[in-house]
Amino acid sequence: MTTSLFANIDWVGYVDWNVRDFHGYNTFRGSTYNAYLVRDERTALVDTVKAPYAGDLLKHVSSLTPLQKVDYVVVNHAEPDHSGSLPAVLKACPQATVVTNKKCQGILSGYYDTSEWKWQLVGTGDSLSLGSRTLSFLETPMVHWPDSMMTYVPEEKLLFSMDGFGQHYASGGRFDDEEPLETVLWEAKTYYANIIMWAGKPIQRALEAASGLDIGMIAPSHGVIWRSHLDRIIEAYKDWVVCRPTPKVLVVYESMWESTTQMARAIWEGACQQGVAAKLFDLRANSNTLLATEVLDAATIAWGSSTLNGGMLPLSGGALTYLKGLRPLCKAGFAFGSYGWSKGGAAAVQEMLEATKVELLREPLECQWRPTAEVLEECRRAGAMLADKATQLSCQTQPGG
């Protein structure tokens, strides 16, 4: 099944309803690998799909044009979910020239035997005329790899945005107005948080570079195509590139014998009493994928771990390592947790929060064995302090604020 974006510009990708693990990202709603075919005096395939679905891609292309008529394969990004089918595509379309940038060529040559491939190297400002349509190229390094590039069709005001504005979201509808918008925006947020949150500055630069283009449709390489709600996704990206904090407190915890759970609940109660959004997040019940999404727009975070073997519990270790790499901005918080005969858990968490550039609001909040009434009261006060700081941070970073 193919879908028309404009006359002779079609989606020819693959809807992956079953994928649930995308290199550790829990893709609860599946995904799509979007490829597009632009037919004109010359024909260009823009990107491909994950290797196992090469046959579906070729079937889609050949339903629209003979494979011998594909003159170009534009590669906007070398990651295998988009380039995996290239060997099969170039075998089926041996006359096709690969159009990409120099960095992408280097990565593709690392992944595949490219000795027989024909290349046309392009960079920002270059364009390729297909006849009545033009492909213009914009290099957008680190959105999401060094080679990442976007392709613009000025005649249709269409931007093939690669990973930018994407979502891991399998659906029957190909367009944003054919699917529940809040669900699609949530998946766009999850995608941003888990895939490209660490690249806020390069994404800001790409947004600025793209703002000079007249854009009427954004066709990313995952998820639905934006044609009716571009304003919503672009506004959301402006918030996400700076991890703009909302008045939201996140209490993340992991407990051995429920003492740290009691502390977490008291911190959360203290935050709730200040009238902000406050969430309890037990690492044993949740995924790192959801954690990153919740962190993106949180203002303050309390993170608790019981002490195990003189350090933190292992789910906290994994989650904090993941979060540190994602480099969230503008967060403040502190660590807490219980210990038995010796300390270590909360201090280890505090150290990782500091390494993640979370502004530390206090010393680790600790208790031995079970929290006393006094400790729980201190937890409630600390929760209220987190809430007040969340309100303050979100006010500071409002547009024009």
Partner 1 sequence: MKKYVCDVCGYVYDPEKGDPDNGVEPGTAFEDLPDDWVCPECFVSKDSFSPADE
Which of 67, 88, 142, 234 lies at the binding interface for partner 1 (CB under 8 A)?
142
Q: Is 222 a catalytic residue?
A: yes
328 in contact with partner 1 (CB under 8 A) = no
- Does residue 33 sit in helix, strand or coil? strand
Shortest distance, position 215 Cβ to partner 1, whole Å: 23
AA identity, residue 170: A
In whole angstroms, how close is the CB of 24 to partner 1 at the nearest point? 18
The runs of H, that is alpha helices, within 216-258 are 230-240
User: Active site residue: 33, 53, 152, 191, which one?
Assistant: 191
Of 159-167, 195-203, 278-286, 333-341: span binding partner 1 (CB under 8 A): 195-203
Q: Which is nearer to partner 1, 125 or 172 (CB)?
A: 125
Does 284 interact with partner 1 (rule: CB under 8 A)? no
**Should residue 317 be labelled a site residue for partner 1 when binding is judged by CB under 8 A?**
no
According to the binding rule CB under 8 A, does residue 202 interact with partner 1? yes
Query: What is the C-alpha separation between 161 and 186, in angstroms, rounded?
Result: 19
In the complex, least distance from residue 111 CB atom to partner 1, rounded to whole angstroms: 17
Query: Using alpha carbons only, what angle is made at residue 213 by residues 210 and 218, rounded to the nearest 5 degrees?
Result: 70
With contacts defined by CB under 8 A, name the span among 13-21, 130-138, 198-206, 362-370 that binds partner 1: 198-206
Catalytic site residue from 10, 33, 72, 77: 77
Would residue 191 show up in a list of annotated catalytic residues for this protein?
yes
Q: Using the rule CB under 8 A, is 141 a contact of partner 1?
A: yes
112 is catalytic: no
User: Token pair for residue 183?
Assistant: 């669900």
Task: Tell me the window of 37-45, 72-80, 139-147, 298-306 that interacts with partner 1 (CB under 8 A).
Answer: 139-147
Annotated catalytic residue 60: no
Active site residue 79: yes
- Which residue in the list 163, 176, 187, 297 is annotated as catalytic? 163
Pairing of strands 118-121, 3-6: unpaired
**Touching partner 1, residues 339-398 (CB under 8 A):** 357
Residue whose CB is less far from partner 1, 202 or 220: 202
**Is 163 known to be catalytic?**
yes
Cβ–Cβ < 8 Å for 299, 395: no
Report the C-alpha dihedral over residues 6, 219, 167, 185, rounded to 10 degrees. -80
Residue 208, number of CB atoms within 10 A of its CB: 9
How many other CB atoms are there within 10 angstroms of residue 96's CB atom? 22
Shortest distance, position 152 Cβ to partner 1, whole Å? 19
Of residues 80 and 141, the one with the C-beta less far from partner 1: 141
Residues 6+ apart with CB under 8 A from 251: 264, 267, 268, 271, 278, 279, 280, 281, 301, 302, 304, 383
Select from 59, 201, 284, 370 the one that contacts partner 1 (CB under 8 A).
Answer: 201
Q: In this chain, which of 146, 154, 173, 340 binds partner 1, going by CB under 8 A?
A: 146
Q: How many residues bind partner 1 (CB under 8 A)?
A: 8
Residue length of the chain: 401
Q: Is 199 in the site for partner 1 (CB under 8 A)?
A: yes
Of residues 199 and 278, the one with the C-beta less far from partner 1: 199
CB 334 within 8 A of CB 361: yes
What single letter denotes the amino acid at residue 261? Answer: T
Scan for tokens 């989650």, then name that residue.
319
Nearer to partner 1, 148 or 259 (CB): 148
Q: Which of 69, 32, 67 is nearest to 50 (CA)?
A: 32
Q: Verify binding: residue 209, partner 1, rule CB under 8 A.
A: no
Would you call 277 helix, strand, or coil by DSSP? strand
Q: Quick one: which segment of 138-146, 286-294, 359-367, 369-377 binds partner 1 (CB under 8 A)?
A: 138-146
Strands 118-121 and 127-129: unpaired
For residue 39, which of 14, 69, 60 has the smallest C-alpha distance?
69
The count of C-alpha atoms lying within 13 angstroms of the C-alpha of 294, restricted to the half-sphere facing its C-beta, is 22
Residues that bind partner 1 (CB under 8 A): 103, 141-142, 146, 199, 201-202, 357
Give the residue numbers annotated as catalytic, written as ranges: 23, 77, 79, 81, 144, 163, 191, 222
